[in-house]
């Protein structure tokens, strides 16, 4: 059943319109559909982004342009290696072709690795594609305030629990015989207790009373949000140079706080960023799978067609990134 010609019928002759193998034609048609898919994603991004009353700049979202640029270079290199692999395959140099494919695979893997690193750094700042995980709020409103309160409650409760545990340990120790060792332990506990107490005081001091106040004024909430995550003023930046306003927010100062923060437009930023790079990354992944399959084959002249098709696909993935990079990192 696998061989359509295996049943003894005659092999029919055809009159193809285009001087290319079916596989290659298929691939180009497939790429047309892919172009439309990404056009839709990018179109949506454009509408949402430019239709948004506010949109955070890349730096606000911990997006490092240099990393993006580096990733662009990685993909460009991988495009070259694929082309060289095809060249080698067409020259019937199977081992060289395999080498280049392996190189492409590694570069693709490197790209994904960098992507994972970037994603991680977003996650660690509480930036997720969508609400349930994301700690980002659109405006310093009551929802934001109550989220901060809730987060502080959890934090304080944890500290209080730790302190309570220390206290109970201490009572236990006090109840027993007071050897020197025990004395030392008690002192130890006291120290730890003090550290915790100080920490809590420090937090309370840093976050301020606003967070605890359910009826805090809009202005106070704005101040709070600025304290947690200072707003860079882009115009100011230009005038004074880079270093001036590296004012550090509470989340950066105390990474363990993980307080909710406010970035207007930030959630849509994250949604579009993760969707577009995510779908692109899926395409990279599919390409990597194809390369692995190729690595198991002898890439001589007879397989040059396959290498070419996979290569075309890979270049397309590169093409998409060529547009995503400026749109996401530099706009």
Residues in 98-157 at the binding interface with other proteins, rule: CB under 8 A: 129-132, 134, 136-139, 143
Reduce the DSSP state of residue 8 to 3 states and report it: coil
DSSP H or E run through 165: helix 142-175
The yes or no reply on residue 96 touching other proteins (CB under 8 A) is no
Binding-residue pattern over the window 187 to 226 for other proteins, x denoting contact by CB under 8 A = ----------------------------------------
The rounded distance, in Å, linking the Cα atoms of 128 and 98 is: 39
Q: Which is nearer to other proteins, 57 or 209 (CB)?
A: 57
Using CB under 8 A as the binding criterion, the count of chain residues that bind other proteins stands at 102
Judged by phi (left if over 0) then psi (alpha if -120 to 50, else beta), residue 64 lies in beta
Q: Where in 290-319 is the site for other proteins (CB under 8 A)?
A: 290, 305-306, 308-312, 315, 318-319
The rounded distance, in Å, linking the Cα atoms of 35 and 21 is: 21
Q: Which is nearer to other proteins, 71 or 251 (CB)?
A: 71
Please give the structure tokens belonging to residue 46. 């454009």
Supply the minimum distance, in Å, between the C-beta of residue 52 and other proteins.
6
Q: Is the dihedral of CA 124, 130, 133, 137 positive or negative?
A: positive
Q: Which stretch binds other proteins (CB under 8 A): 18-26, 157-165, 192-200, 251-259?
A: 18-26
**Which residue in the set 32, 95, 168, 183 belongs to the binding site for other proteins (CB under 8 A)?**
32
Q: Which stretch binds other proteins (CB under 8 A): 5-13, 112-120, 176-184, 198-206?
A: 5-13
Q: Where in 46-65 is the site for other proteins (CB under 8 A)?
A: 46-48, 50-55, 65
The yes or no reply on residue 267 touching other proteins (CB under 8 A) is yes
The rounded distance, in Å, linking the Cα atoms of 163 and 157 is: 10
**Which residue in the set 16, 175, 243, 296 belongs to the binding site for other proteins (CB under 8 A)?**
16
Can you tell me which residue has the tokens 């220390």? 166
The yes or no reply on residue 241 touching other proteins (CB under 8 A) is no
The yes or no reply on residue 72 touching other proteins (CB under 8 A) is yes
The yes or no reply on residue 181 touching other proteins (CB under 8 A) is no
Task: Supply the DSSP string of 283-311, one letter for each residue.
Answer: HHHHHHHHHHHHHTS--SGGGHHHHHHHH
Q: Which stretch binds other proteins (CB under 8 A): 30-38, 180-188, 205-213, 250-258?
A: 30-38
Q: How far is CA 331 from the centre of its chain?
A: 18
The rounded distance, in Å, linking the Cα atoms of 59 and 98 is: 40
Q: Which is nearer to other proteins, 228 or 318 (CB)?
A: 318
Contact 270, 122 (CB under 8 A): yes
Of 48, 38, 33, which Cα lies nearest the Cα of 272?
A: 48
């Amino acid at each position: 059943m696998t061989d359509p010609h295996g049943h003894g019928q005659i092999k029919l002759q055809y009159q193809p319109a285009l001087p290319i193998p079916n596989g290659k034609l298929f691939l180009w048609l497939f790429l047309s559909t892919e172009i439309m898919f990404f056009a839709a994603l990018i179109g949506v991004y454009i509408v949402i982004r430019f239709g948004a009353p506010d949109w955070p700049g890349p730096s606000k979202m911990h997006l490092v342009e240099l990393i993006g640029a580096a990733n662009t270079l990685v993909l460009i290199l991988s495009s070259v290696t694929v082309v060289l692999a095809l060249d080698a395959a067409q020259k019937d140099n199977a081992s060289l072709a395999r080498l280049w494919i392996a190189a492409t695979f590694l570069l693709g893997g490197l790209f994904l690795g960098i992507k994972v690193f970037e994603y991680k750094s977003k996650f660690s700042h509480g930036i997720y594609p969508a609400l349930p995980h994301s700690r980002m709020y659109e405006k310093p409103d009551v929802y934001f305030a109550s989220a901060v309160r809730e987060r502080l409650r959890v934090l304080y409760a944890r500290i209080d629990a730790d302190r309570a545990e220390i206290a109970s340990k201490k009572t236990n120790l006090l109840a027993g015989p007071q050897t020197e060792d025990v004395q030392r332990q008690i002192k130890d506990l006291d120290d730890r207790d003090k550290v915790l107490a100080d920490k809590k005081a420090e937090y309370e001091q840093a976050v301020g009373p606003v967070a605890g106040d359910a009826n805090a004024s809009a202005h106070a909430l704005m101040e709070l949000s600025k304290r947690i995550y200072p707003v860079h003023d882009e115009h100011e930046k230009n005038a004074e140079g880079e270093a001036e306003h590296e004012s550090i927010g509470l989340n950066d100062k105390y990474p363990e706080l993980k307080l909710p923060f406010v970035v207007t437009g930030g959630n849509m930023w994250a949604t579009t960023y993760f969707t577009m790079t995510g779908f692109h990354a899926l395409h990279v992944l599919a390409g990597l799978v194809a390369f692995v399959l190729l690595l198991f084959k002898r890439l001589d002249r007879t397989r040059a067609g396959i290498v070419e098709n996979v290569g075309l696909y890979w270049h397309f993935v590169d093409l998409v990134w060529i547009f995503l990079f400026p749109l996401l990192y530099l706009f």
